[in-house]
Amino acid sequence: MKHSSTNLKTRFGEFRFHCFSWGLHEEDNILVLENDQFSGAPLVRVQSACYSAEIFRSLDCDCHAQLSKSQRLIAENGGYLIYMLCDGRGAGLLNKLRGMALGEQEGLDTSDAYRKLGLLQDPREYLRVSEVIKHFRLEKIQLLTNNPRKIEGLTSAGIDVDRVPLEIDSTEDTKPYLETKAKKMGHLLSEFGQ
């Protein structure tokens, strides 16, 4: 693993900006915003790329809102925003778009579209994320998440995890997506009784 860091000013505050690299391609990198001004177990957000929401501001998911809220909370309270360059829950951007197209053409939700494409619902792995967390010598974290798979992925690597919910109220556009995450993928979203 290679590593480099520098300071970064953002609209939420100043961070130490890290890049951890395991290969030659961008998707082999994990980015981290660090605010080391915390006491006790720090807030940690593990976020996967969502280029449609984070670059183009699509309205059909809560990814951009979760990223902004996490960055603000970590700027205020200290901690680490760990950003994985893997769109489509790790299935890749091309597969994500194929799934979205199936949604348009056949009325499938993201879960059923991935199933029809022969893809795992959430193929992300958290081994590299756990390596990054251990780089910072963190043994216990407060994980900003609604996804039980992230908790399992990190606890199985020996990290003590307390969950902190990161719920974004649904809109007319995001409700179908969030309901699918809750009902079919087990995400912990109180709005949908999970």
> d(Cα 79, Cα 186) in Å, to the nearest integer?
26
> d(Cα 188, Cα 176) in Å, to the nearest integer?
15
72 catalytically annotated? no
Q: Which of 62, 72, 122, 137 is catalytic?
A: 122
28 catalytically annotated? no
Instruction: Give CA separation, 74 vs 16, 19, 144, in Å.
Output: 12, 18, 10
Give the E-state strand segments of the chain in sequence order: 2-10, 13-21, 29-35, 43-48, 79-84, 140-144, 160-164
The answer for 154, left when phi > 0, alpha when psi is -120 to 50, beta otherwise, is: alpha
Q: Which of 124, 160, 162, 163 is catalytic?
A: 124
Active site residue ranges: 122, 124
